[in-house]
Copies of this chain bind each other. A is one copy, B any other.
Amino acid sequence: MASNTIENYLKAIYSLQQKQEKVNITDVSKHLEVSAATVNNMMQKLKKMKWVKQEKYQPVTLTVEGEKRAAMIIRKHRIAEMYLTEKMGLGWENVHSIAEEMEHIDSSILFDRMDELLDYPKYDPHGSPIPNKDGKIVKMNFHLLSQAETGSLVQLVGVEDSSKELLEFLNQKMIRLGTEMKVLEIASFDKSLLLEMEEKDTLVLSSKVCNALRVIEVEK
């Protein structure tokens, strides 16, 4: 029923709601790289469909129905990513863009089967939780590597964006989910981090990269 475009708006609002209290037209506009006027226009349509709520000049929120639809799209996206990596052997850097297209396929047979073949995974290859069939999603517990303190030992549990560019960079540095790193030093000038890796060698990561890495503290 909903066009791919509409599904992408729902998904955008959902994702933004996961990390912010308030989602503005401008946030959606930046996220989808369309003008604010376009977003405003689409919000009128989504309000008529009862998938979003918004008072004039106020932030947008998904309705229960809108949130459920968004969660189902994200569920399909993440199950597809998982299938592509686990069952087809594609690298985590390649699956996001494919899943971006597969998420719009209307076929419960397909996604239920992938889910079953994967034995009902809880997380996608980038560490993000997969919403269940009711749209429930576990809340992740993490902080960004850029927020870590000197001396802390952390483990990578997810990434903020699944772009090929970031993930190829991480591949090159031998960083994957589960990789442990100790923060040796934080450069005050550019907020880059000096890290000790598992093999005792050291590595410098820019603040841009550290802002994209989700970590948890681990015991020493």
Contacts and interface: CB of A to CB of B under 8 A. Distances in A.
A98 B94 contact: no
A2 interface: no
Interface SS, A side: helix
Contact of A113 (B89, B101, B107): B89
A140 interface: no
Nearest to A110: B98
B102 A88 contact: no
A39 B97 CA distance: 31
Contacts of A84: 110
A104 interface: yes
A57 B169 CA distance: 56
B105 A101 contact: yes
Nearest to A94: B109
Interface in A84-102: 84, 88-90, 94, 97-98, 101-102
Interface in A101-122: 101-102, 104-107, 109-110, 113-114, 117
Nearest to A87: B87
Interface of A: 84, 88-90, 94, 97-98, 101-102, 104-107, 109-110, 113-114, 117
22 contacts: A84-B110, A88-B110, A88-B113, A88-B114, A88-B117, A89-B113, A90-B109, A90-B110, A90-B113, A94-B107, A94-B109, A97-B107, A98-B105, A98-B107, A98-B109, A98-B110, A101-B104, A101-B105, A101-B106, A101-B107, A102-B102, A102-B105
